[in-house]
Amino acid sequence: MIDHLSIPTTKYDETIAFYDACLKAIGAERCVNMTAHWNPDWPEQRLCAYGVGGKPVFWIGEAKSSEGTRHIAFTADGVDAVKGFYDAGLATGGSCNGVPGPREIYHPGYYGGFLIDPNGNNVEAVFHAFSG
């Protein structure tokens, strides 16, 4: 059900050192390091992700405030499911945070739809085998 999730941190270097050590003890490792160039207010924002077998599941994003938005991505079994998630969310009080579509920046075949839930969280449905 959960594809991946993320937390913000104002102490990026200390936080990744903590999770590098702790998650290694349970068999997970840092498998992604990237810079989020899409934010015009912070074009050098750092992100990383941890997982097992190279599958990024737990993301950490550099934040200017500890009050940052949480992100949860739910696994979808196809494009129609992503669109259904998105449409249902809009109809029940969510707001658009990214219309359903391919997100090649993450990896080829990534198809996601993003919403802000009523509490301000960034929620997503994602399908990983898009070939459109």
Count of CB atoms within 10 A of residue 48's CB? Answer: 21
pLDDT tens for each residue of 34-56:
998 888 888 899 999 999 999 99
| Phi, psi for 86 (deg, rounded to 5) | -60, -50
Q: How far, rounded to the nearest angstrom, does the alpha carbon of residue 100 sit from its chain's CA centroid?
A: 14
* pLDDT the model gives residue 68: 67
The pLDDT tens digits of the residues spanning 57-108 come to: 999 999 888 776 789 999 999 999 999 999 999 998 889 999 999 999 899 9
Tell me, what's the pLDDT at 49? 96
Query: What would the two tokens of residue 95 be?
Result: 């707001």
Tokens standing for residue 64:
């200017």
Entry pTM: 0.74
Sheet of 2-9, strand order:
29-36, 45-52, 55-62, 2-9, 71-75, 122-127, 111-116, 95-102
pLDDT at position 27: 87
Give tens-digit pLDDT for 8-24. Answer: 888 999 999 988 988 89
